[in-house]
Amino acid sequence: MPMLPASSAAPSTPAARSEARLLPRGSVIPFVLVTVLFFLWGIPNNVNDVLIRQFMKSFVITRFEAGLVQSAFYLGYFLLAMPAALLMRRWGYKSGFLIGLALFSTGTFLFWPAAVAGRYIFFLIALFVIASGLSFLETAANPFIAQLGDPATAARRLNLAQAFNPLGAISGVFFGTLFIFSGVELQPHQVAELQARHAYAAYLQSETMRVVIPYLVLGVLALVMLILIAITRFPSSLTRTENAEEAHGSLRALFGYPHFLLAVVAQFLYVGAQVGTWSYFIPYVQSYAHEPEKMAGYLLTGSLVAFGVGRFSSAWLMQYVSPAKLMAAYCAINAVLVAIGVIFPGWAGLWALLITSFFMSLMFPTIFVLGLRGLGENTKVGGSLLVMAIVGGAVLTPIMGMISVRSGSVALAYLVPLLAYIFIGCYSFADQKLFSAHTSETSASAA
């Protein structure tokens, strides 16, 4: 299997970046199908932000308890990424896509019995199964796209494919807001009235059942993609079984790449910042702008539109600016914007947090590509660890919920993504020096 070379995944000069071919001949259809997967998994990733609010209402639970939605979801990513990498090292990327879509669809169909049973824990199990499938998809898709063509355009190619992920996120939040949120928000006296008529349990059950149809539709879409990928021929160099070079890849060897280890930490913090920002955006809007849940959902959709615009514009800008420098600048801007959200809760803070989505958009694919540079035979295992770092969403989101509950302030919870952006900005500056130093040491020892 071809690996990223020891040189940077993105060329050092703007001319080289603009002249390098984005896709080789014969790879357009696989690229399109896998790019559709980026769109598809963006939907459940961000419907979670709607589910958190919906479950707070339908199960009458706290923000911290509702934050377990993200914990269950990203725990699936964490636990299945390494098994996915080991399986694909033997059977190729296509097997990862097929298994991932099978698990994905199974998890969505589990929403129906979970809703009928009316048990929160059953929904968490279903979300874990969905995320297990997405772990296979992301472990396969990100390195597949990075390795599909010229290493010189890997960052641009992955940013382009990832640009369709926010379109899925936008669709998920928009349709989740439209079809899951009922718009009915009961006041305490209305709850008491329903309880007196013994109708409150029926109301809660009806709110719970609202999540079923959107997830069943999503499951059908996953099955359609499974069939299309199963009948499509993928490049043989990226689908054949284990070869001699990749057989020698090892987890231990990755500790010799400091730029990779920092990338794992940066990815952990980035995903935590992204997931936490969007998970508590609706409560932020309701707490400080005093808007109803549907309007808050539409504002979150607007934030995801900014995310999508940021992905496409970043893919274009990377023809002229190195990915690491662009990411450093975006981190600095986001640190200022999140600080505004913390210090000035209200409409000013709301718009500042909404705009952060534009500048966070390039971070996941850029960190991924920068981390994979020069890993050679360890690329697949390294890619799985970068996917496992998505567990940051499971860790940092409940921490934000705990801060929010204990302080009584949703705004203060945003100190968590603020610190994350500061670290990622520092990583952006340090990455090239660490990578260059490691490459020099390797060349010297080889000589």
Residue (of 2, 110, 88) closest to 381 by Cα position: 88
**What's the pLDDT tens digit per position in 259-312?**
899 999 999 999 999 989 998 999 999 999 999 888 998 999 899 899 889 988
The mean pLDDT of 4-14, rounded to a whole number, is 40
The mean pLDDT of 136-150, rounded to a whole number, is 84
* Whole-angstrom Cα Rg for the chain: 22
62 by Cβ neighbours in 10 Å (0-12 / 13-18 / 19+) ranks as exposed
The mean pLDDT of 156-176, rounded to a whole number, is 83
**What's the pLDDT tens digit per position in 340-380?**
999 999 999 999 999 999 999 899 889 988 888 888 777 77
Write down the pLDDT at residue 17.
Answer: 47
Rounded CA-CA distance 138/141 in Å is: 5
Exposure class string for 137-153: b at 16+ Cβ within 10 A, else e: bbbbbbbbbbbbbbbbb
Write down the pLDDT at residue 268.
Answer: 95
Write down the pLDDT at residue 169.
Answer: 82
Lowest-confidence range among 27-36, 152-161, 219-228, 265-274?
Answer: 152-161
The most confident of 57-61, 79-83, 405-409, by mean pLDDT: 405-409
Write down the pLDDT at residue 393.
Answer: 85
The mean pLDDT of 155-176, rounded to a whole number, is 83
Whether residue 9 is predicted with pLDDT greater than 50 in this model: the reply is no
Q: What are phi and psi of 139, to 5 degrees?
A: -60, -35
Whether residue 8 is predicted with pLDDT greater than 50 in this model: the reply is no
The mean pLDDT of 222-248, rounded to a whole number, is 72
Name the superfamily (CATH) of residues 28-239+254-446.
MFS general substrate transporter like domains (1.20.1250.20)
Write down the pLDDT at residue 439.
Answer: 52
- Tokens 């979300």 — which residue? 127
Rounded CA-CA distance 237/144 in Å is: 11
Name the amino acid, one letter, at 215.
Y
For residues 388 and 269, the model is more confident at 269
Rounded CA-CA distance 348/337 in Å is: 10
Q: Whole-model pTM above 0.75?
A: no
431 by Cβ neighbours in 10 Å (0-12 / 13-18 / 19+) ranks as buried
Write down the pLDDT at residue 10.
Answer: 44
CB 153 within 8 A of CB 22: yes
The mean pLDDT of 53-70, rounded to a whole number, is 83
Helices (H), 234-279: 244-247, 258-279
Residue (of 324, 288, 33, 375) closest to 155 by Cα position: 324
Whether residue 104 is predicted with pLDDT greater than 50 in this model: the reply is yes
CB 169 within 8 A of CB 46: yes
Rounded CA-CA distance 418/422 in Å is: 7
Rounded CA-CA distance 370/318 in Å is: 13
Write down the pLDDT at residue 139.
Answer: 83
Model confidence at 12, in pLDDT bands (50, 70, 90)?
very low
Percent of the chain with pLDDT over 70: 88
The mean pLDDT of 37-63, rounded to a whole number, is 87
Whether residue 209 is predicted with pLDDT greater than 90 in this model: the reply is yes
Write down the pLDDT at residue 441.
Answer: 52
For residue 189, the SS3 value is helix
Lowest-confidence range among 243-247, 370-374, 387-391?
Answer: 243-247
Could you tell me the residue ranges of all domains in the chain? 28-239+254-446
The mean pLDDT of 400-428, rounded to a whole number, is 94
Whether residue 225 is predicted with pLDDT greater than 80 in this model: the reply is yes
For residues 270 and 159, the model is more confident at 270
Whether residue 446 is predicted with pLDDT greater than 60 in this model: the reply is no
